[in-house]
Chains A and B, each alone.
Chain A
């Protein structure tokens, strides 16, 4: 069964540095998402992406965040200048249609020191 994949599985970075988290969504899916989960907390929506543009974003997704689909397979989340509070698990997800369940990737654990 096709799966969403994410790299790296764990990223450690210093405060103020830029990070790029990478995802390969399921190949026939058209809708892409990023979520995050701070340790011990709920999974929170960050952004949705369709047809090469952001379709919705949360208040968490401020100017420090950006997403891109640089080619036909990858979907990336960039954090321009990381803060300590950005430490979390970041999950990529995709769905075939907007009204269908999202398939989640295994996550990237981001640790900002």
Chain B
């Protein structure tokens, strides 16, 4: 049968601008969230994580925001660089759980 691919939303960003990538997660019981970056032909690469007892966490050039009320997660990338071009996935799990559930992904294209 025909295989239906995932139509990724795409965020085009000018180099140097800030990027915001959004994710709606599905399970209200999830209490641990991770953002991964995936470059073409490679495995997911950990960027930053956050637990449900926090609503904001900052890393180097990245910030994750968690809004549990509306089950929403966002990733902010400051001063986006060409090397940030990739697909970004949010993933959710229960802290004591085994199964990490990935979201659909957002493609970020950085324009020079």
How many of chain B's residues have a CB under 8 angstroms from any CB in A?
Answer: 27
Q: Are A103 and B46 in touch, CB under 8 angstroms? A: yes
- B residues within 8 A CB of A106? 42-43
User: In the complex, what residue of chain A is closest to B102 when comparing beta carbons?
Assistant: A43
B98 and A56 within 8 A (CB): yes
Minimum CB–CB distance for B38 against chain A, Å: 8
**Interface hits, A25-51 → B, CB 8 Å:** 31, 33, 35, 38-45, 48, 50
* Count of CB-CB pairs between chains A and B under 8 Å: 64
Given contact pairs A98-B96, A98-B98, A99-B32, A39 touches B46 in the complex (Cβ within 8 A): no
Q: How far is the CA of A40 from the CA of B46 in the complex (A)?
A: 20
A45: B residues at CB distance < 8 A: 99-101
Please measure, in the bound complex, the distance between the C-alpha atom of A61 and the C-alpha atom of B95, giving whole angstroms: 22
Q: Find chain B residues with CB under 8 A from A56 CB.
A: 97-99
Q: Which residue of A lies closest to B8 (CB)?
A: A40
Chain A contact-residue range equals: 20 to 34
Instruction: Give the shortest distance, in Å, between B112 (CB) and chain A (any CB).
Output: 26
A83 to chain B, nearest CB (A): 13
A54's closest neighbor in chain B, by CB?
A: B98
Shortest beta-carbon distance, A102 to chain B, in Å? 6
- Does B69 sit within 8 A of A, measured CB to CB? no
- Tell me the B residues contacting A by CB distance below 8 Å: 3, 5-6, 32, 34, 36, 38, 41-46, 49, 89, 91, 95-105
